[in-house]
C-alpha cells in the first residue's frame, strides 16, 4: 500500500503480544504434567476437555471472528467420528487412513453447509445451520445399514501405541497444541482480518471489493476441517459413536463452551470446555438434575461475565494496566 | 462485628468442622465393602423402567440388610440417560473412579452394547438382567458379560409365534421401535410364525421416542391382518396403546405385544385401553404361584405399586450375584472365580417359584407364560398367565450350533421363511 510508515513497533492487535510465547509454553508444560497428578479417570476427562476445546475453537473461528454462530458444528464433528469408526470397524482401514477420511468427510460436509449458508447471517444463519445439522442427524439415525441407527457403531479405533490413558492424553495434547497454533495463525492472518472486517461491517467490505461469500465459504470450510479433527480424535477416545454425537445437543454444547470461555478469544474455548465438563461430571455425581445446575451457571455467566471467562479476564487486566 | 471478623470466624468454624469429619472418613475405609455399580436410565424415554430397576435392587438389599457373605454392600447408582454415549461415560466413571467390583443394569440394548464394548477391555464383570440383545449370549459372547435373571430378546417371541399359529392367525403385521431389541423380538416371532405357515404382511419401524403413531396406525388399519405385534418400551408403549385404542383399532384387530409394552411400569398409568393385551414373559405378577404372590405382596406393601418386570429382574439379578458370592465367601476381588461361580449357580428362591439355571451360553432357561392383561378386584390391571411353555431356552427348539449359523436378527434379516 503506502510507503513504509515508520520503524515503530507493529500495532498491538496484529502482532504477538510480548509475553505470549513463554505463557503458552508454561501452559502446555503444565497440561503435559497433569497425568502425573491426576487419576486415570480424570486424565480421560482432561482428554475430553482438549477434544471439545478444539471443537469449540473451530466454532469460535466463525462465531467470534466472522460474526456468524453456527449450530451445525456438532453434526460436522460427528460425521468425522462416524466415518472414522466405520472405516476402522467395517472397512478395516488402519487408524491413520481412517483419521484422514474422517477429517476429509467433515470438511466436505462443512463445504456443503457453507454453500447453503454463506449468503445469510444472524438468526437465519443460526437456523440454517441448525436445520442442516438435523438433516445429518436424521440420516445417521435412519440409515441403519451403514450407521447402525440407534445402536451406534463400535470399533477398535485407537491405535495400539496409544491404549493407555496417559499415552492417548499426550497424543491429544500434542494435536491440540498444533491445531490451536494453526487456528491462531489463521485468524491472525490477512484472511482472518478480512473475516473480522466482514463481522464488523459486511457492506463496507463489499464496497471495498472483497468477495464476502467466498471468504465466508473458505472460513466455514476451514472451521469444519478443524471440527473434523476434533471428531476423529473423539472416535479414538470413545471407540464408539451413536446418533447423539451428531445431534443438536452436541452443537449447542460446543456453542456453550465457546460462549462460556469467551466469544472471539479463541483459547477461551478450552476454559469453557473445562468448565462445562467439570461441572457435568462433578454435579452429576450428586444429582441427576445436573442440567438444571448447568443452566443456572450459564445464566450467571451471562449476567456477570457476558464476554465469557477469558473475555472477563482480559477486561480486568486491561483495567489494571491502565 | 464487621465483615472481616465474620469471615474469619466462619472460616475457622468450617475448618474445625472439616477436621472433625476426617476421623469418620478414615474409619469407613477400613470395612472394605463390596462395591456394586448400578447403571439405570433415570432420565430419557425409558426412565419409568429405570426407576424400577433401582427399586428392585434396593428392595433386595433391604431384605438382606445390605450384607452379602458377611461384607457390607455399597451401591453406586449412575444414570445412563437412555443414551449409549452417556452409558459409556458413566461406566468408565464407575469402574475407574468409583472402583466398583462389578457393573449391573442398563435397560436399552444400545446402552448395553456400548458398555459391553468397554468392559470387554477392562474385564469387569457386567451383569445384564434387562439387556436382551441376543448376540451377547450367542455369536458375540464375552465371558465377563452374563445375563443372570435376564432373557434374550427372541427367547419369548419364539413361543409367542407358536401360540399365534395355534390361535389360527394366518397374517400378522409388526410395528416396532427401530433398534436391536425391536429387530430381535420381531425376528423371533417372524421366524417361528412363518415356518409354521403364517405370513408377515408388513413390518413398520419407528425411532425411539415417537410421539405420534397416526401414520403407522393409519397404514395398519388398512391391512387385512389377523393380529398386530407391537414391540414398544417405556413412554412409546404408553402412547402406542393409548393411540391404538383411541383410533378404534383395538376393537378391530387383536394386539400381541412384547412384555415391555404390557409391563407394570406402563399399564399402571393406563386404563381400559390395556385390557386384554397378550404378551409372553417368564414373570407374570398375576400368577397364582405362592412365591410370586408373596413377592408381589411384599413389594406392593413397600413401594405402593405392583412390581414390574424391571424391578423383578434386577431383584433376581442381585439375588443371583449374592448366591454366587455366598458360595465364594464374598471374595469378589477374584474375578475369574467370581465369573465361573456365577455361571454355575442355580438360583433357588427367585420370585418365579422355581429354580432357574443358565444354559451353556450364559443365558437362563425359563418356563414362558403367555399372559393376558386383566383387571384385578381392586381395579388395577395386571398380567395373568393363560398357558405355559416349559423349559424354553434362547434357541427355542432349534439346535444351538445350527441356529447360530444364521445371521443375527436385524432390520434386514427377520428370519422370515421364503415360500
A150·B411 Cβ contact <8 A? no
**What is the count of residue pairs from A and B with beta carbons less than 8 Å apart?**
65
Min Cα distance A233 → chain B (Å) is: 15
Mean pLDDT of B221-228: 91
Q: What is each CA distance from B190 to A217, A237, B136, B183, B202, in whole angstroms?
A: 51, 39, 21, 10, 11
Euclidean distance between CA atoms B355 and B341, whole angstroms? 16
Inside any domain, residue B28: no
Q: Which long-range contacts (CB under 8 A, 24 or more apart) does B353-362 make?
A: B353/B287, B353/B289, B353/B290, B353/B291, B353/B292, B356/B149, B356/B316, B358/B146, B358/B147, B358/B148, B359/B393, B359/B394, B360/B400, B361/B137, B361/B138, B361/B141, B361/B394, B361/B400, B362/B137, B362/B141, B362/B145, B362/B146, B362/B147
Find the range with the poorest average confidence among A43-52, A281-290, B392-401: A281-290
Residue A50 has a pLDDT of: 95
What does the pLDDT look like over A90-111, one tens digit per residue? Answer: 888 888 999 999 999 999 999 9
| Same domain membership, residue B144 and residue B78 | yes
Mean pLDDT of A65-87: 94
Inside any domain, residue A198: yes
Q: Considering chain B, what percentage of its residues have pLDDT values greater than 90? A: 34
What does the pLDDT look like over B189-224, one tens digit per residue? Answer: 999 999 999 999 999 999 888 889 999 999 999 998
Mean pLDDT of A24-30: 88
Residue B31 has a pLDDT of: 52
- A residues 214-273 lying closer than 8 A (beta carbon) to B: 238-240, 242, 244-245
Inside any domain, residue B22: no
Residue B9 has a pLDDT of: 57
Inside any domain, residue A280: no
Q: Rounded mean pLDDT of chain A? A: 87
| Same domain membership, residue B227 and residue B275 | yes
| Same domain membership, residue B233 and residue B91 | no
A152 touches chain B (CB under 8 A): yes
Min Cα distance A158 → chain B (Å) is: 12
CATH of the domain at B134: 3.40.50.2300
- B residues 153-182 lying closer than 8 A (beta carbon) to A: 177-180
Place of cell 448400578: B38
Would you say residue A66 has pLDDT above 60? yes
Inside any domain, residue A166: yes
Between residues B23 and A123, the one the model is more confident about: A123
Q: What is each CA distance from A31 to A41, A181, B189, in whole angstroms?
A: 16, 16, 55
Q: What distance lies between CA A41 and its chain's CA centroid?
A: 23
Q: How many domains does chain B have?
A: 2
Inside any domain, residue A302: no
Between residues A149 and B258, the one the model is more confident about: B258
B412·A145 Cβ contact <8 A? yes
Residue B3 has a pLDDT of: 59
Mean pLDDT of B284-301: 89
Residues of B in contact with A154 (CB under 8 A): 113-114, 117
Would you say residue A14 has pLDDT above 50? no
Tell which residue, B407, B297, B362, B369, has the closest CA to residue B59. B297
A242·B412 Cβ contact <8 A? no
B404 touches chain A (CB under 8 A): no
Taking the whole predicted model, whether its pTM rises above 0.80 is answered as no
Euclidean distance between CA atoms B69 and A36, whole angstroms? 38
What does the pLDDT look like over B139-152, one tens digit per residue? Answer: 778 888 888 888 88
| Same domain membership, residue B61 and residue B185 | no
B79·A149 Cβ contact <8 A? no
| Same domain membership, residue B359 and residue B300 | yes
What does the pLDDT look like over A246-276, one tens digit per residue? Answer: 989 899 999 999 999 989 888 899 999 999 9
Residue A5: pLDDT band (50, 70, 90) is: very low
Query: Strand B126-127 vs strand B278-281: parallel, antiparallel, or unpaired?
Result: unpaired
Mean pLDDT of B172-177: 94
What does the pLDDT look like over A209-220, one tens digit per residue? Answer: 999 999 999 999
B88 touches chain A (CB under 8 A): yes
Would you say residue B18 has pLDDT above 90? no
Residue B166: pLDDT band (50, 70, 90) is: very high
Inside any domain, residue A201: yes
Residue B105, strand partner residues: B39
Mean pLDDT of B83-104: 89
Would you say residue A11 has pLDDT above 70? no
Residue A301 has a pLDDT of: 85
Min Cα distance A204 → chain B (Å) is: 46
Q: Is A297 exposed, middle or buried (0-12, 13-18, 19+ CB in 10 A)?
A: middle
Residue B74, strand partner residues: B35
Q: Considering chain A, what percentage of its residues have pLDDT values greater than 70? A: 93
Domain that holds residue A222: 27-244
Min Cα distance B91 → chain A (Å) is: 11
What does the pLDDT look like over A190-201, one tens digit per residue? Answer: 999 999 999 999
CB contact at 8 A, A235 and A80: yes
Residue A310 has a pLDDT of: 84
Inside any domain, residue B122: yes
Q: Which of A152, A155, A168, A239 to mutate to test the interface with B (most CBs of B within 10 A)?
A: A152
Euclidean distance between CA atoms B350 and B353, whole angstroms? 6
CB contact at 8 A, A154 and A239: yes
Inside any domain, residue A207: yes
Q: Which of B42, B81, B97, B133 to mutate to test the interface with A (most CBs of A within 10 A)?
A: B97
Inside any domain, residue B2: no
Inside any domain, residue B13: no
Q: Considering chain A, what percentage of its residues have pLDDT values greater than 90? A: 51
| Same domain membership, residue B399 and residue B250 | yes
Q: How would you label B355-366 residue by residue, b for 16+ Cβ within 10 Å and e otherwise?
A: ebebeebbbbbb
Would you say residue A3 has pLDDT above 50? no
Mean pLDDT of B90-119: 89
Q: Which of B43, B86, B89 to mutate to test the interface with A (most CBs of A within 10 A)?
A: B89
Inside any domain, residue B186: yes
Residue A86 has a pLDDT of: 93
Residues of A in contact with B86 (CB under 8 A): 244
Inside any domain, residue A255: no
B92 touches chain A (CB under 8 A): yes
Would you say residue B58 has pLDDT above 90? yes
Interface predicted TM-score (ipTM) of this complex, two decimals = 0.72
The three cell numbers locating residue B416: 422370515
Residue B41 has a pLDDT of: 92
Q: How many domains does chain A have?
A: 1
Residues of A in contact with B43 (CB under 8 A): 288
- Kindly report the three-state secondary structure assignment for every residue of chain A: CCCCCCCCCCCCCCCCCCCHHHHHHHHHHHHHHHHHHCCHHHHHHHHHHHHHHHHHHHHHHHHHHCCCCCCCHHHHHHHHHHHHHHHHHCCCCCHHHHHHHHHHHHHHHHHHHHHHHCCCCHHHHHHHHHHHHHHHHHHHHHCHHHHCHHHCEECCCCCHHHCCHHHHHHHHHHHHHHHHHHHHHHHHCHHHHHHHHHHHCHHHHHHCCCCHHHHHHHHHHHHHHHHHHHHHHHHHHHCEECHHHCCHHHHHHHHHHHHHHCCCCCCHHHHHHHHHHHHHHHHHCCCCCHHHHHHHHHHHHHHHCCCHHHHHHHHHHHHHHC
What does the pLDDT look like over A125-159, one tens digit per residue? Answer: 999 999 999 999 999 988 888 888 877 888 888 88
Residue B69 has a pLDDT of: 85
Inside any domain, residue B3: no
Inside any domain, residue A304: no
Tell which residue, A6, A98, A81, has the closest CA to residue A242. A81
For residue B43, the chain A residue with the least C-alpha distance is A288
Domain that holds residue B335: 34-152+290-365
Inside any domain, residue B128: yes
Query: Strand B71-79 vs strand B34-40: parallel, antiparallel, or unpaired?
Result: parallel
B308 touches chain A (CB under 8 A): no
Amino acid at each position: 500500500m503506502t510507503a513504509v510508515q515508520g520503524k515503530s513497533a507493529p500495532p498491538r492487535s496484529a502482532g504477538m503480544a510480548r509475553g505470549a510465547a513463554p505463557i503458552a509454553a508454561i501452559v502446555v508444560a503444565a497440561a503435559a504434567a497433569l497425568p502425573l497428578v491426576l487419576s486415570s479417570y480424570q486424565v480421560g476427562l482432561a482428554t475430553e476437555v482438549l477434544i471439545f476445546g478444539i471443537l469449540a475453537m473451530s466454532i469460535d473461528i466463525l462465531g467470534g471472528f466472522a460474526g456468524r454462530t453456527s449450530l451445525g458444528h456438532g453434526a460436522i464433528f460427528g460425521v468425522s467420528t462416524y466415518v472414522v469408526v466405520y472405516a476402522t470397524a467395517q472397512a478395516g482401514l488402519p487408524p491413520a487412513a481412517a483419521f484422514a477420511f474422517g477429517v476429509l468427510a467433515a470438511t466436505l460436509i462443512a463445504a456443503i453447509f457453507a454453500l447453503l449458508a454463506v449468503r445469510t447471517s444472524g438468526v437465519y444463519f443460526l437456523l440454517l445451520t441448525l436445520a442442516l445439522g438435523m438433516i445429518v442427524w436424521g440420516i445417521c439415525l435412519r440409515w441403519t445399514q451403514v450407521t447402525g441407527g440407534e445402536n451406534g457403531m463400535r470399533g477398535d479405533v485407537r491405535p495400539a501405541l496409544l491404549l493407555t490413558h496417559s499415552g492417548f492424553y499426550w497424543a491429544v495434547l500434542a494435536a491440540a497444541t498444533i491445531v490451536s497454533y494453526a487456528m491462531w495463525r489463521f485468524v491472525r492472518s490477512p484472511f482472518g482480518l478480512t473475516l473480522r472486517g466482514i463481522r464488523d461491517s459486511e457492506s463496507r467490505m463489499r464496497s471495498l471489493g472483497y468477495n464476502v461469500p467466498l471468504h465466508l465459504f473458505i472460513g466455514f470450510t476451514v472451521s469444519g476441517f478443524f471440527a473434523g479433527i476434533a471428531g476423529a480424535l473423539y472416535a479414538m477416545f470413545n471407540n464408539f459413536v451413536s446418533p447423539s454425537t451428531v445431534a443438536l445437543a452436541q452443537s449447542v454444547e460446543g456453542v456453550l463452551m465457546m460462549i462460556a470461555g469467551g466469544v472471539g478469544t479463541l483459547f477461551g474455548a478450552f476454559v469453557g470446555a473445562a468448565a462445562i465438563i467439570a461441572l457435568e461430571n462433578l454435579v452429576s455425581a450428586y444429582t441427576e438434575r445436573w442440567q438444571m445446575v448447568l443452566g443456572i451457571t450459564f445464566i450467571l455467566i451471562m449476567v456477570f461475565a457476558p464476554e465469557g471467562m477469558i473475555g472477563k479476564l482480559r477486561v480486568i487486566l486491561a483495567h489494571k494496566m491502565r | 462485628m464487621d465483615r472481616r471478623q465474620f469471615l474469619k470466624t466462619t472460616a475457622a468454624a468450617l475448618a474445625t468442622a472439616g477436621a472433625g469429619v476426617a476421623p469418620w472418613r478414615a474409619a469407613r475405609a477400613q470395612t472394605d465393602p463390596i462395591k456394586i455399580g448400578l447403571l439405570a436410565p433415570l432420565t430419557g424415554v425409558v426412565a419409568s423402567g429405570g426407576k424400577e430397576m433401582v427399586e428392585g435392587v434396593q428392595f433386595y438389599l433391604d431384605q438382606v440388610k445390605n450384607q452379602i457373605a458377611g461384607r457390607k454392600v455399597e451401591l453406586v447408582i449412575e444414570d445412563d440417560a437412555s443414551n449409549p454415549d452417556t452409558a459409556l461415560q458413566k461406566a468408565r466413571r464407575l469402574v475407574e473412579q468409583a472402583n466398583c467390583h462389578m457393573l449391573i443394569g442398563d435397560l436399552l440394548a444400545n446402552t448395553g452394547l456400548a458398555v459391553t464394548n468397554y468392559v470387554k477391555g477392562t474385564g469387569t464383570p457386567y451383569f445384564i438382567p434387562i439387556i436382551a440383545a441376543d448376540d451377547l449370549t450367542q455369536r458375540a459372547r464375552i465371558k465377563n458379560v452374563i445375563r443372570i435373571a435376564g432373557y434374550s430378546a427372541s427367547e419369548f417371541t419364539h413361543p409367542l409365534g407358536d401360540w399365534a399359529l395355534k390361535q389360527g392367525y394366518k397374517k400378522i403385521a409388526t410395528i416396532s421401535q427401530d433398534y436391536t431389541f425391536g429387530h430381535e423380538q420381531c425376528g423371533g416371532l417372524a421366524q417361528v410364525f412363518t415356518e409354521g405357515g403364517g405370513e408377515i404382511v408388513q413390518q413398520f419401524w419407528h425411532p425411539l421416542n415417537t410421539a405420534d403413531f397416526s401414520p403407522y396406525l393409519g397404514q395398519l388399519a388398512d391391512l387385512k391382518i389377523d393380529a398386530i405385534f407391537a414391540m414398544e418400551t417405556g413412554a412409546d408403549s404408553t402412547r402406542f396403546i393409548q393411540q391404538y385404542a383411541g383410533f378404534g383399532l383395538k376393537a378391530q384387530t387383536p394386539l400381541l405385544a412384547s412384555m415391555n409394552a404390557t409391563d407394570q411400569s406402563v399399564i399402571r398409568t393406563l386404563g381400559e385401553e390395556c385390557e386384554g393385551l397378550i404378551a409372553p414373559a417368564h414373570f407374570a405378577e398375576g400368577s397364582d404361584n405362592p412365591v410370586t404372590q408373596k413377592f408381589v405382596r411384599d413389594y406392593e406393601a413397600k413401594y405402593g405399586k405392583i412390581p414390574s418386570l424391571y424391578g423383578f429382574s434386577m431383584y433376581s439379578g442381585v439375588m443371583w450375584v449374592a448366591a454366587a458370592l455366598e458360595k465364594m465367601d464374598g471374595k469378589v476381588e477374584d474375578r475369574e472365580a467370581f465369573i465361573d461361580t456365577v455361571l454355575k449357580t442355580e438360583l433357588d428362591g427367585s420370585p418365579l417359584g422355581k429354580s432357574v439355571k443358565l444354559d451353556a451360553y450364559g443365558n437362563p432357561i425359563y418356563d414362558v407364560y403367555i399372559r393376558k392383561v386383566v383387571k384385578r378386584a381392586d381395579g388395577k390391571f395386571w398380567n395373568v398367565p393363560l398357558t405355559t411353555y416349559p423349559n424354553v431356552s434362547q434357541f427355542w427348539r432349534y439346535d444351538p450350533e445350527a441356529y447360530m449359523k444364521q445371521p443375527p436378527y436385524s432390520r434386514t434379516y427377520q428370519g422370515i421363511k421364503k415360500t
